Chains A and B, each alone.
Chain A
């Protein structure tokens, strides 16, 4: 959803989202690990850190367009990854990361409900904005940014809003993820695999819808975990990728597109029945 509100809506495809998630994750990890800060304080600070670092690194990139924006965000991801490993490994844990972090709740079921609750609240908020004029302008930016400016709208202002929403959402996700896992390592959050998982979830679920990426994320997670029983090791990623690719080829708008089609079919049927 974080990727969708920026990239799915404005068309500014970001390859740097793991950096935002990682910054939030490392912030709360370091605050709790080194200072013993309680989670209710460290998590909001982590979200602010994601926003602050995001502004510092991504804001200049918002002046670029197309491939240049993608490449710059990818470069920022690599830079932040390297900085976390190289600068003050005594604080970040270097390549090993930080273990034994506190949990928000323990147990699979409570964690599921917690994550679902957070995802649901974020989805409602983002969906509301996406359905407002803000969503309309962000969509228009994706279609023709110059024509939006010619309508008297500051595209930079709206892109900045999309980025802020995106960074805050990524920050919330990153901070809670670390305290679900109980540990953080650079390879886990800054890897290309993680980046691709975010983008594939958005595409399979249906970008430009907010709800779609949420469905995509649940689908991919359940698929990957259920395959674990039958296929050991990394080959299951191959099957997982094949399923995701087939789904995307079949329906470009992803699961959300299927839901939309079903809703349209139902609406038409109801209208036809009313005529009869």
Chain B
């Protein structure tokens, strides 16, 4: 397998707070990587650095061994990286179908001039995440589980190579977690690469090939899930003893 996404020495500080400190790791094509750490350890900041929402103080990001650190967000997405947000960010005045449709639009003015013909593509994507019945609903009519499904649908609609999922299980019921896990597993089997941030380690365990643990912005452990949960430094970071 080849390296799909790689972070080399990423550092980001906000004033005196060092949020990410010299962080380096990579994810291989088709791999599913778990990114865990206590609250405030820098996981979302790391996602923002990868996507270009934040500018790093130092370090580089590589996609398929080409540097993308200086590219704006939309160019990184076009290279093949898509993300979900910890707090879902649907377009409030648009239906589920319209929300998904935005992610299918090409970044070309002339092609965007066409009128929408039908919603077949959106329907298929909505069906794949279990939102078929709610395709005409607005975000305020959806549950948290459905909003997370919609986030996932938007990522799938971009047809990218790697999906960064930020706290995809937060606020979900056990049944909803099972449904979304099944969807991730299916997409992983189809070849989509994942980096999944989650506090729910039990939900994360069956989905990931490898886990990276960060604490206070620093990488403290890396390896298979079973090794990681028994790691002394990880237990210290999570449990304080």
Residues of A within 8 A of B (CB): 128-129, 131-134, 136-137, 139-140, 143-144, 146-155, 157-158, 161
**A131 and B77: CB pair below 8 A?**
no
Q: A132-B113, A137-B112, A140-B91 are in contact. Are A150 and B105 (CB under 8 A)?
A: no
Most buried by A among B90, B91, B101: B91
**A154 and B91: CB pair below 8 A?**
no
Bound together, the chains give a CA A139 to CA B101 distance in angstroms of 13
B74 is contacted by which of A129, A132, A149 (Cβ under 8 Å)? A149
**B92 neighbours in A (Cβ, 8 Å):** 143-144
**A148 neighbours in B (Cβ, 8 Å):** 102
Shortest Cβ gap from B105 to chain A (Å): 5
- In the assembled complex, 22 residue pairs joining A and B whose CB atoms fall closer than 8 Å, in A order, are A129-B113, A131-B115, A132-B112, A136-B98, A136-B101, A136-B102, A136-B105, A137-B105, A137-B112, A139-B91, A139-B94, A143-B92, A143-B94, A147-B85, A148-B102, A149-B72, A150-B85, A151-B74, A151-B102, A151-B154, A153-B105, A158-B109
Residues of B within 8 A of A (CB): 51, 53, 72-75, 77-78, 82-83, 85, 89-94, 98, 101-103, 105, 107, 109, 111-116, 154, 157-158, 160
Closest to B108 in A: A157
**A153 neighbours in B (Cβ, 8 Å):** 74, 102, 105, 107
Shortest Cβ gap from A114 to chain B (Å): 28
Bound together, the chains give a CA A137 to CA B104 distance in angstroms of 11
**A154 and B83: CB pair below 8 A?**
no
Inter-chain residue pair count (beta carbon < 8 A): 88
Shortest Cβ gap from A84 to chain B (Å): 33
Bound together, the chains give a CA A140 to CA B72 distance in angstroms of 18
Closest to A148 in B: B102
Bound together, the chains give a CA A157 to CA B112 distance in angstroms of 12
**A129 neighbours in B (Cβ, 8 Å):** 113
Chain A binding surface SS class: helix
Bound together, the chains give a CA A154 to CA B77 distance in angstroms of 10
**A134 neighbours in B (Cβ, 8 Å):** 109, 112-113
Bound together, the chains give a CA A144 to CA B112 distance in angstroms of 19
**A139 neighbours in B (Cβ, 8 Å):** 91, 93-94
Bound together, the chains give a CA A143 to CA B92 distance in angstroms of 7
Most buried by B among A128, A134, A150: A150
**B94 and A152: CB pair below 8 A?**
no
**A151 and B112: CB pair below 8 A?**
no
Bound together, the chains give a CA A154 to CA B103 distance in angstroms of 12
Q: A136-B98, A137-B105, A143-B93 are in contact. Are A154 and B113 (CB under 8 A)?
A: no
| Apart from A139-B94, A150-B85, A158-B112, 13 more pairs, CB < 8 Å | A133-B105, A133-B111, A133-B112, A133-B113, A136-B101, A136-B105, A136-B116, A139-B91, A146-B73, A149-B73, A150-B77, A154-B74, A155-B74
Bound together, the chains give a CA A136 to CA B103 distance in angstroms of 11
**A133 and B158: CB pair below 8 A?**
no
Shortest Cβ gap from A36 to chain B (Å): 38
10 pairs of A and B residues whose beta carbons are closest in the complex: A152-B77, A149-B73, A133-B112, A143-B91, A151-B103, A147-B89, A134-B112, A133-B105, A149-B74, A154-B74
Closest to B88 in A: A147
**A158 neighbours in B (Cβ, 8 Å):** 109, 112
